[in-house]
Copies of this chain bind each other. A is one copy, B any other.
């Protein structure tokens, strides 16, 4: 029965809530995706095909990836994140047509194989966000040139925003990359880093945030996005940044210098009319992407818990005559992990549902809560899984340490936890007025009731 396979991934309680909100088609895609989980056996091959070091590590992508992409397309597991609208009628843009709620469940399942599944289904960051930008704000030429091959999975892309020595969580700080408009040309210069995917040999376009109108009175109208191809003169990939020692080849998170790169003004996203709209566009890009990261992180946490359960049941790992799973603290780790994963999933699902009903803006509180709670939750679960694995848990022989490193980045990406915490706190405070009015009414009525009854408060 389909449900049994689904509830091996999504807790029965969560499924009971969302099942009525799933279309038959979505339910069918979901079970196909679950079966496609034989991406898992390809992980070892992927790592074996990757050169261990040196320039060749960045020169090609393990061939297994293309095989998986082909298979995903055949199975109809392609561009599932695409919700239609902006992509209709576009070559390669058939996509999933799923609701955010439906896609949330898919993304969690993909998270079990974080390295392969999202890319194999063309659902991986930063491409998905970049495709949205191009679809909503690109010119027809830009769509033809970059969006169509991205939708087909033929090329990859980067979003080039973070600057060296600058607190990027306040994006108005970003001013060290400039694009000087000279007639029909734009000359781009700047120094960026943490540009995900910039090491990838398939990368064909960077969407670069840069200052085009430094004198504009509004700090939110000074920036534009320009499209740069990595093969252009002046684009220099300096080095991959490492994440807890990992280089995440062949994609990488690179330091990049744009040294007087000359572009046509038609390289500005949206063309000339796009000048000064950088901020507006990146705002639009962030909402759903944040949730996608959360969804996948829950899948990562689930896989970590699955590994934990297996490890503590391994007869070879008994200590002092006991299975690890017989230890009270291990049972507590398991129960707490289960409880935390289940709660986080429900939170993300409720945010996705909220987007479906009322749009991303109305769901800002739900998305923000998910943004700062889910990665922290996943890190706790992964850490418990590492701990029961002993040293093996932090080595190359399990995926756990790489999971930890990957999820750890989400506590800063798109703004550190602290920023989101403060924003949620402030949003919640907006309820105060209603509460105060209600409380005042309660107090008035309470006083009247006490008086009417001829009573007073207790004394010594």
Which of B169, B349, B354 is close to A390, meaning CB atoms less than 8 Å apart? B169
Q: Is A45 a contact of B446 with CB atoms below 8 Å?
A: yes
Instruction: Flag whether A75 is at the interface (Cβ < 8 A).
Output: no
A431 at the interface (CB under 8 A from B): yes
Interface status of A330 (Cβ within 8 A of chain B): yes
Contacts of A55 on B, CB cut-off 8 Å? 460
Do A460 and B238 touch across chains, with their CB atoms under 8 A apart? yes
Which residue of chain B lies nearest to A166 when distances are taken between CB atoms in the complex?
A: B316
| Of A166, A246, A408, most B-chain CB atoms within 10 Å | A408
Query: Which among A143-151, A152-160, A331-339 touches the partner chain?
Result: A331-339
Whether A16 and B165, one on each chain, are in contact in the complex, defined by CB atoms closer than 8 angstroms, is no
Q: Is B446 within 8 A of A42, CB to CB?
A: yes
Residue of A42, A342, A419 contacting most chain B CB atoms (<10 Å): A342
For the complex, give the distance between the alpha carbons of A251 and B18 in Å: 41
Residue A436 CB within 8 A of the other chain: yes
Q: How many copies does the complex hold?
A: 4
**From A8, A40, A386, residue with most partner B Cβ within 10 Å:** A40
Please name all residues of chain B whose beta carbon is closer than 8 Å to the beta carbon of A350 when the two chains form the complex. 11, 13-14, 16-17, 342, 346
Is A455 in contact with B421, judged by CB distance below 8 angstroms? no
Q: In whole angstroms, how far apart are the Cα atoms of A344 and B340 in the complex?
A: 10
CB-CB contacts of A225-247 with B at 8 A, as 1s and 0s?
A: 00000000000011111111111
Known A-B contacts A55-B460, A424-B339; the reply to A445 vs B391 at CB < 8 A is no
Interface residues of A, Cβ cutoff 8 Å to B: 8, 11-14, 16-18, 20-21, 38, 40-45, 47-49, 52-55, 58, 64, 162, 165-170, 173, 194, 199, 237-247, 252-254, 305-306, 309-310, 312-313, 316-320, 324-325, 327-336, 338-339, 342-344, 346-347, 349-351, 353-354, 356-358, 362-363, 365-366, 369, 372-373, 386-387, 390-391, 394-397, 401-402, 404-405, 408-409, 411-413, 416-422, 424-426, 428-429, 431-432, 434-436, 439, 441-450, 453, 455-460
Q: A243-B245, A335-B421, A346-B350 are in contact. List 4 more A-B contacts (CB 8 A).
A: A167-B318, A310-B432, A338-B369, A346-B346
Q: List 25 A-B contacts (CB under 8 A).
A: A13-B354, A13-B363, A16-B350, A16-B356, A20-B21, A38-B442, A48-B453, A49-B455, A170-B320, A173-B318, A243-B394, A245-B245, A245-B246, A245-B396, A309-B435, A310-B435, A310-B436, A325-B425, A328-B331, A335-B424, A335-B428, A338-B365, A343-B344, A387-B412, A390-B416
